[in-house]
Structure 1
């Protein structure tokens, strides 16, 4: 496999890039900018940049860049995307010859409203930070998928691409003020099979066992966000030293969820044989920036509990050395709403 050439390296960059011709139409964009604008790179080529970046002063600044042969910057520019999402970014315009302009788009962290909780503010900040690296990761995986001949390696690259897309969608949800979850029927056992595939693909993964209630109906929720909760829990168990994880599903009648009692709740237990939760973390485990590992971000469990609450459910745990159980509760009544 040869080293990536300059064009391929530009494709892999997390910074949003576009080349615009003298007619102000897009000649090329990289995947990172396509992701920001909710448009595929092939679809974007040939379109006026002003239709993709709906910013009033952009056209005049591009013309000025070409006419004067020098770069310009647009600070705190706000533009809309194909899906109606607003983005605030710094834009750098640089002439590169033949009337063409290189446009760099550097998104800024969104302003957090006073109504945001500290948890939401922290998670949105985190989501903003991971967006660009995810775009670079996805681009690298696409390049590998095209280059390798081995079917198993191509399948692993496809898994990386799918996971990058899922995480980018989650980050978008956190960055979007008042953004609603993508609600639909969720087959919990199909979701757990997908989870097992992701866990087993990781190095030194613990053994995964099942204890399912096959009679469980679908629940209503956001499939990707619920997968993120369970993936966080299983990865935490593995990183804590668990050798075995059991995934158990049950119906719990008369479950207490927050301030209300529901007739029935789906309970998904992630059980592990690791060392358990340290005593000093037991009362603060779900707070942001709290981690039992020196290299931990302290965001995984905070995000997981917020997603559970968003679904009208809860996330709880009981722990002792050799026997830790995290339980995700989802109300069954939502199925009939």
Structure 2
């Protein structure tokens, strides 16, 4: 798989301090789309990955579908790099990373008990390395979003992992890492908003940013399912708790109201949008009853905010007067957006082929 080349780069943060050298803030040629992926994202090992309802090969399915639709080619995808230990230590504690050297710990985090019986070098290679590569992809997408106005990491979005604790198939805190990298290394990025629409509470990034006034969190989730983290909820500025079987009308009304409120309440320098189609009726984990039609063609209107979704999932275009999902197609055009300094990065697509891919954008490009 030949993908866009990378030029290694390193820069000082806005305070003049020298951060550790990293390859994750590479210079990406403009011929590449700001879409980050690597075949190593996909986890396959003796069928053990099938012991969890989470589809650990969905990222490759997404890319394969988009290639078949002639939306992407190998040559215009940015190839993700694995996050190094130095990269991870920007957020994670050394003791937590050391605990991941025990297979029983990884088995608990991924909820795949047989992993505890495997030598850790195999667990590192077949499970944790893919997750580290996805984590690197999220950090790269953060920088790309600043440079281009929008970016995607096809994987990542490990919103249950905090600096010192993993869970729910999330071993690395990629959302926290992406934001911390930007705060430390990119001048003008000092405020962030996380919009988390996965059906599960994003307790990892919430714990990490509990006392950080620079980060605004909106989280929409089923209150009755994992992780039910009462302490982490204290970090949520816009908390939208849903009940079992929440259906379209109630979901649309609540999300529309709080989207509008979030956009009116804060003006961040970066937005991390964590998507999740585990909200769909029949999802084995989400416990909600949202119809596929909502993702196909239902507009979300109200107070100057409109949201539309498409079958293969969606480019999210956010402007001062609208938030819209557009079906990926084959051409880009220049567009006017919220403001020149605002950017957004997508960190997770959560459910296989139905949604496929989500773009997040504030300026520069949109898909038509």
TM over 0.5: no
Going by fraction, where is strand more abundant, 1 or 2?
A: 1
Structure with the bigger RCO (C-alpha within 8 Å, sep 6+) is 2
With the shorter chain as reference, the TM-score category is under 0.3
TM-score normalised per structure 2: 0.25
Larger helix proportion of the pair: 1
Q: TM-score, normalised by structure 1?
A: 0.26
| Structure exhibiting the larger radius of gyration computed from Cα positions | 1
